[in-house]
Structure 1
């Protein structure tokens, strides 16, 4: 008898079970990003202000903040604040762990089941989050090891959440279930100000304690309530099972149309390469935003801690809302004007990459104009929400049959951007502790956006590629509507990819 059966003998549930599962998926995405970004606010008190703040120079005059405002409470006085390169290690090591697990998540799911892997990996990551302050006390290398393991354990979550969405979502409710993955964005929006408030009232240790306890609570509920197979849930009715499983095979490709994944042809494909370059620039900028934006707003623009953290969340909210606007507009362009899929993807790439790149270039030499920079930050990340209807959905255009596997590998490789980016920032700020250093960082970010966008505009495509399969499969796929295709890939790129086979 399963744990769920022991705990829930008589359900008496009025709300359908799949809705409760969708809520837990939403909270799972939420919790995963709490564990991801809480260190970004805590890092403010782990770093020496002079390495990130602006000092007196030709650009502006800025008063340094000192670490005495909410000191780090440890019994030893031998601990020194982390230098920029050490901060880079702290940020990048998470992505290094994430890279490994995202590539093997399907193997773990096949062996132990997606529900168990998600629940126990999050539970272990929660415990490691609780001991993060102790790890810092024991030394930076212990701290880095803990963050690596948290990243490794967190990398299982999103690929396997996609599998559960396929299992639990009726065909008519797939859009609703995919939207639950926006819990990641909500998690970021709320975690920054929550962490700042905790940091102001207590110490950075408590950011980790509270984050870890919330994640443990979710993990226990998840393991008790969710099952891999719909029919194995002790509370579900036969009517709901029938509703979930009705016409589930509509989005599945017939077995006779399947074959081995042609990795060599995929790697040589110019449209796939262009998409990778596009997503590389996107991932680079998103990782910079998640890791360093609180520092930029706090140390450089001189916002107080809570306001800096709230302003870090506002552009993420704008990005999410803009992505919701773009998705139906993309469908409107296809249905109303019969615009080719490739043109639709490139149209939204202008908003997701070209415009944000131009905005960041405009921020150069304006770094100390507080209000202007704040507005530009909101704008460039907000426009980037168009990636949902642009590059993010493109892999399903190119290879619908192999999209899950290719996108998982691609997202694993894109983790390298999150590994490299912090060191680029650290080395730049190491040599330029003033406004010029941050301007160079913004220039690099803008180049990443613009280069990726231009490459995709030139070499990108919206057509099914020849390597995707036989004439039989191409006929089958080309008969699928754009609506059926894009509905499966409307998740945010912060979610780090899907691992299901379409």
Structure 2
């Protein structure tokens, strides 16, 4: 049985977003080990009569020098004293032989947020460039250049704090091209009633977090934080090579696609997507479109919630619940695996609702956004009040992140519904504004927790996050729509009858069923060409 070209595209897109988020989150976990102290702990101090030289150069001198301290602190039997000595030696040896960077909470928050400082600037250009030069080039280079920066991060870290900061700013800037550029390819390749499922490939970002947080934790425990960036670089480069050989910008450009699949895609898309340039971009219509702004609002709240938990999750688990680096990596990554699984299952449910006409396209998108913003917000609100309990915190963070998976069937898919021809630009507009929480949230978290790593400070962080999520979800559900917009046409305005006809095609898609019947009748056994 043939492997369909858009199936290959799904997997390459899926891995591409794994790479994209791998670049975002690697510093979130390595910073726990990079700062001075034992895995970032700087609150303990060695006895005043112990010198650093003794600690580093001579273990026997060290044990002799701390013997009076041990005797005073532990008046139990010899075995217990020996155990105390060994633990103290292990702590002190790590602390002074692997001393790290002396960055305070504000400097750490700046590093964590720097990736997003100008990340939003190239969101809109990403959609424009993809329409002109193709997603294959733009998405590939965005990830490729970001991956190359991984090899430089250890060098820049030891060079200076400022150098590392600005390298992360550049890495965030260039990878900002990726997300909006992919919507251009989605609009050209994916039939409308398959969009929810295909857009779930974007949630490869969650698998990237789920996979690499635990892997990075073990890598750091076994070797050092520097190896995290070398692994990221090698993995990313392998994907880049495969992307260049396996992916093409449209079915018409794919040299190995079966003609039956190509006919099915083109007939399913019908007149909603122009094979050639649809004309000048309708900037005014996009800027004044209520449905576009509703997607911006949904993305703002969703990204605020996602990035707050994703960026600061490792720090929260490490400082509040005192997990070691391996547990921190696992607990920070697990929720994102649940997010991907939920996204895939929910997208299949959403496409089922569309195929069977049980809900209109607009109501399916509202349902999905109500889950990814509203329901998630309620779970984060519970985290604010029960986060002092380690078990409850793990469960609530996992469930909250999981519910965000519905975003692939909500605002992300809705942007293609509104205008397949300008989907990349619409996502670019949404990304420029809706992506700002990526750097605003870490800045606010830094202020709230500066010298105040307490459960009360984190309660305020989670309450603010819940407000953003619930508010954006309610606004979207009441005021959004996901029907084909009149400015999707190259004429930027269709007669009312023509517009209603195209919207009906988008909602019911009779062409898709006709095309599938023709394909099934014409299909013959073929070999996999992908």
TM-score interval w.r.t. the shorter chain?
0.7 to 0.9
- Corresponding residue SS for 2:330: helix
| Deviation (angstroms), 1:104 | 1.9
What's 1:248 paired with? 266
Q: 2:29, 2:394 → 1: CA distance?
A: 18
2:202 aligns with one of 163, 177, 181: 181
Contact kept, 8 Å, 2:302 with 2:373, in 1: the verdict is yes
| Deviation (angstroms), 1:355 | 2.4
Q: 1:407, 1:339 → 2: CA distance?
A: 24
Could you say if the C-alpha distance between residues 375 and 388 of structure 1 is closer, same or farther in structure 2, counting changes exceeding 3 Å?
A: same
Could you say if the C-alpha distance between residues 259 and 421 of structure 1 is closer, same or farther in structure 2, counting changes exceeding 3 Å?
A: same
1:436 aligns with one of 440, 447, 456: 456
What's 1:457 paired with? 477
1:40 aligns with 2:54: no
How is 1:65-214 mapped onto 2 (pairs within 5 angstroms)?
A: 80-109=101-130, 113-164=134-185, 178-214=199-235
Q: 1:414, 1:395 → 2: CA distance?
A: 13
Contact kept, 8 Å, 2:29 with 2:217, in 1: the verdict is yes
Contact kept, 8 Å, 2:115 with 2:172, in 1: the verdict is yes
| Deviation (angstroms), 1:149 | 2.0
Contact kept, 8 Å, 2:184 with 2:421, in 1: the verdict is no
What's 2:75 paired with? none
Q: Which blocks of at least 5 consecutive residues in structure 2 are unaligned?
A: 44-89, 513-530
- Corresponding residue SS for 2:372: helix
Could you say if the C-alpha distance between residues 117 and 392 of structure 1 is closer, same or farther in structure 2, counting changes exceeding 3 Å?
A: closer
1:477 aligns with one of 490, 502, 520: 502
| Deviation (angstroms), 1:92 | 2.2
2:16 aligns with one of 12, 18, 28: 28
1:415 aligns with 2:440: no
Q: 1:400, 1:168 → 2: CA distance?
A: 10
Contact kept, 8 Å, 1:51 with 1:84, in 2: the verdict is no
- Corresponding residue SS for 2:505: coil
Q: 1:73, 1:220 → 2: CA distance?
A: 40
Q: 1:105, 1:388 → 2: CA distance?
A: 19
- Corresponding residue SS for 2:384: coil
- Corresponding residue SS for 2:163: helix
Contact kept, 8 Å, 1:51 with 1:433, in 2: the verdict is no
1:293 aligns with 2:293: no
Q: Deviations over 1:74-103 (max 9, x none)?
A: 8xx7x7422222222222221234323332
Q: 2:163, 2:478 → 1: CA distance?
A: 46
Contact kept, 8 Å, 2:10 with 2:198, in 1: the verdict is yes
Q: 2:426, 2:379 → 1: CA distance?
A: 32
| Deviation (angstroms), 1:359 | 2.1
Could you say if the C-alpha distance between residues 54 and 281 of structure 1 is closer, same or farther in structure 2, counting changes exceeding 3 Å?
A: farther
1:319 aligns with one of 318, 339, 348: 339
Could you say if the C-alpha distance between residues 31 and 482 of structure 1 is closer, same or farther in structure 2, counting changes exceeding 3 Å?
A: same
| Deviation (angstroms), 1:357 | 1.8
Contact kept, 8 Å, 2:4 with 2:261, in 1: the verdict is no
What's 2:77 paired with? none
Contact kept, 8 Å, 1:29 with 1:181, in 2: the verdict is yes
Q: Deviations over 1:352-395 (max 9, x none)?
A: 22222222222234332111121111222222223333333333
Could you say if the C-alpha distance between residues 345 and 125 of structure 1 is closer, same or farther in structure 2, counting changes exceeding 3 Å?
A: closer
Contact kept, 8 Å, 1:171 with 1:244, in 2: the verdict is no
TM-score, structure 1 length as denominator? 0.78
